Amino acid sequence: MAESKRSEWNSNIAFIMAMIGSAVGLGNIWRFPNVLYSNGGGSFMIPYIISIFLLGISFVLVEYAVGYKFKSSLIKVLYSIKTKLEPVAWFIALIVFLITTYYICVVGWDLIYVFLSFTKAWGSNPDLFFSNNVLQASDSISGMFTIVPMVFLSVLALWAIGWYIVQKDLNEGIGKVSKILLPLLCVIVVVIVVFSLTLPGASIGYTQIFTPDWSALTNLNVWLAAFGQIVFSLSLGMSIALTYASYLPDGSKLTDNALIVAFSNSGFEVFNSIGIFSILGFMALSTGIPFNELVTEGTGLAFVVFPQVFNIMGPWATIIAPLFFLCILFAGITSVMALLEVICYSISEKFNYSRRKSATIVCIVGFCISILFTTAYGSTFLGIFDAFLNNFALLFAVLLECIIFGWIYKFDDLIDTLNENSGIKVGKTWKLVIKVILPICIFGLWVQGVLNTIASADYISQIVMVCLSIVLILIPAIFTILPAKNPDFYKKVSR
């Protein structure tokens, strides 16, 4: 194998672009505006900014330092730290894999909307169109045996795109695609935001972002929401940063890079939400619907509210609507390829597969699982997977990583690694954050997530979640037991 093992970014800019591309995704475009609005608008920015430093940058730095130091996949890193930690690494890789299988479907819905948007094919009732025509959603579990052809084809296309990018050499695939899609994404967002500010009623929307509700600051849930947004938005715990940093050449400025990535990601979501809120302000003014009834999360915002806005926008919608859906598509693709790289690298390192072989296996198996979400019951499955994997499993993974790198690994070595070449130095405060403060915050968030998930789980959700829990225990155990085909795998990286 070890094509992928030898891979190295050909420039720092390729690494930064790929990292920003991995972070900027659906979470920035449709999750952030809702979280911002429902947690006090302007005053949310205070917990949010604190979370960027306390949680986001601090944790990204751990992954950077570990990836850069070990120059290996997550599996090999944890195996090298302690042999018994290998199943934990497979557990994290499996969470990332399962998240990819449904995340790619949402990007698939968006791909369909890119085409629909040219003719505004959703008609006068986008809500009904989305559930009846696009998802062909059924309330009955028997819907899981009916594949929705359009969604199926779109998801197949995205797995093919993901495979094509990841099986290529690192710089030719992920590096090149990031360098093309990220600037395009920025141009599109600038066009949308500038245009949205010219709409009548825009100020009704964007002033919400800057109007603080100070009482929100004393609400613990607002702080947890800020932490949660940073975890999602910066893709923490998924070991994307660890994987990408393992391809960095010696002498890289890790801390400086982490700051650039974290600020670009947050800058993107705050800037983008100015556009989203302005457009919603226009909608509120045009239809008389109160602003707070318009702000929804996820699919509701992108595939229902926005098509409604495009319906009343006039001729400009012919340009803005395709741009909006393209923006989500590009953001989604750059995140999908990062998620895939984490899994492919781990598999190729243990089983001695070439990039192409591991990408092919991962994408075929992944596509087979995604088929579940392309059925008439797929969107319900997707909601259950998302609630379980994001609120429960992923946060648990972040917690485990904090404990492993903070307490089991020689943490002080990471401080030296980070300070080696970076202009900005880290020290004892960072250590305290990773070892104590962060685990406490994440634990709080995790308990909240678990309670919410349990409270809202119906009978089918409970069954699916039990099945997922069994899979998350069994598969990592099997992957750990399977012998490595790469003899070097058992030679621990002593760092």
Instruction: Answer for the pair 174, 165: CB distance below 8 angstroms, yes or no.
Output: yes
The single residue among 43, 379, 390, 480 that binds ligand PFF, judged by CB under 6 A, is 390
For ligand PFF, the binding residues in 320-339 under the rule CB under 6 A are: 335
Q: Which of 30, 465, 388 minimizes the C-alpha distance to 229?
A: 30
Q: Which of 20, 72, 481 minimizes the C-alpha distance to 267?
A: 20
Kindly tell me which of 18 and 415 has the beta carbon lying closer to ligand PFF: 18
Amino acid identity of 184? L
Helix pair angle (86-117, 149-167), 10° resolution: 120
Q: Which of 168, 197, 172 minimizes the C-alpha distance to 276?
A: 197
State the residue for tokens 């495009």: 310
SS3 call for 323? helix
Which among 24-32, 296-304, 341-349, 370-378 is the span making contact with ligand PFF, rule CB under 6 A?
A: 24-32
Q: How far apart are CA 243 and CA 235, in angstroms?
A: 12
Interaction pattern, residues 100-139, with ligand PFF; x per rule: CB under 6 A: ---x------------------------------------
Q: Which two tokens stand for residue 133?
A: 């025509």
CA angle 296, 298, 383 (to 5 degrees): 115
Radius of gyration of the chain (CA): 22
DSSP designation for 409: S
Instruction: Answer for the pair 464, 385: CB distance below 8 angstroms, yes or no.
Output: yes
Kindly tell me which of 86 and 269 has the beta carbon lying closer to ligand PFF: 269
User: Considering the rule CB under 6 A, would residue 61 count as an interface residue with ligand PFF?
Assistant: no
Helix pair angle (317-351, 12-23), 10° resolution: 110
> Least Å distance between CB 441 and ligand PFF?
18
State the residue for tokens 């952030």: 32
The single residue among 16, 17, 23, 395 that binds ligand PFF, judged by CB under 6 A, is 23
Which among 52-60, 70-78, 153-161, 231-239 is the span making contact with ligand PFF, rule CB under 6 A?
A: 231-239
> Least Å distance between CB 331 and ligand PFF?
7
Interaction pattern, residues 335-374, with ligand PFF; x per rule: CB under 6 A: x---------------------------------------
User: Considering the rule CB under 6 A, would residue 388 count as an interface residue with ligand PFF?
Assistant: no
**Which spans in 352-458 are helix H?**
355-370, 378-388, 395-403, 411-421, 428-432, 438-456
Instruction: Answer for the pair 193, 271: CB distance below 8 angstroms, yes or no.
Output: yes
User: Considering the rule CB under 6 A, would residue 77 count as an interface residue with ligand PFF?
Assistant: no
Q: How far apart are the first and last CA of the chain?
A: 23
User: Considering the rule CB under 6 A, would residue 25 count as an interface residue with ligand PFF?
Assistant: yes
Instruction: Answer for the pair 159, 104: CB distance below 8 angstroms, yes or no.
Output: yes
Which among 21-29, 54-62, 359-367, 401-409 is the span making contact with ligand PFF, rule CB under 6 A?
A: 21-29
> How distant, in Å, are the alpha carbons of 17, 34, 43, 194, 474 from that of 295?
30, 6, 17, 20, 40
Which among 182-190, 232-240, 310-318, 366-374 is the span making contact with ligand PFF, rule CB under 6 A?
A: 232-240
**Which spans in 54-199 are helix H?**
58-70, 74-81, 86-117, 126-128, 149-167, 176-197
> Least Å distance between CB 233 and ligand PFF?
5
User: Considering the rule CB under 6 A, would residue 227 count as an interface residue with ligand PFF?
Assistant: no
Q: Which two tokens stand for residue 250?
A: 């010696």
Instruction: Answer for the pair 328, 29: CB distance below 8 angstroms, yes or no.
Output: yes
Which among 208-216, 230-238, 304-312, 377-385 is the span making contact with ligand PFF, rule CB under 6 A?
A: 230-238
The single residue among 208, 235, 264, 422 that binds ligand PFF, judged by CB under 6 A, is 235
> Least Å distance between CB 195 and ligand PFF?
24
User: Considering the rule CB under 6 A, would residue 206 count as an interface residue with ligand PFF?
Assistant: no
Kindly tell me which of 32 and 195 has the beta carbon lying closer to ligand PFF: 32
What number of chain residues touch ligand PFF (CB under 6 A)? 12
Kindly tell me which of 1 and 226 has the beta carbon lying closer to ligand PFF: 226
The single residue among 21, 27, 275, 439 that binds ligand PFF, judged by CB under 6 A, is 27
> Least Å distance between CB 269 and ligand PFF?
8
Which among 8-16, 25-33, 270-278, 474-482 is the span making contact with ligand PFF, rule CB under 6 A?
A: 25-33
> How distant, in Å, are the alpha carbons of 112, 152, 371, 374 from that of 149?
11, 5, 10, 8
> How distant, in Å, are the alpha carbons of 181, 187, 288, 321 from that of 327?
9, 9, 28, 10
Kindly tell me which of 89 and 99 has the beta carbon lying closer to ligand PFF: 99
Which among 128-136, 227-235, 248-256, 280-288 is the span making contact with ligand PFF, rule CB under 6 A?
A: 227-235
> Least Å distance between CB 414 and ligand PFF?
23
Residue numbers at the binding site for ligand PFF (CB under 6 A): 23, 25-28, 99, 103, 232-233, 235, 335, 390
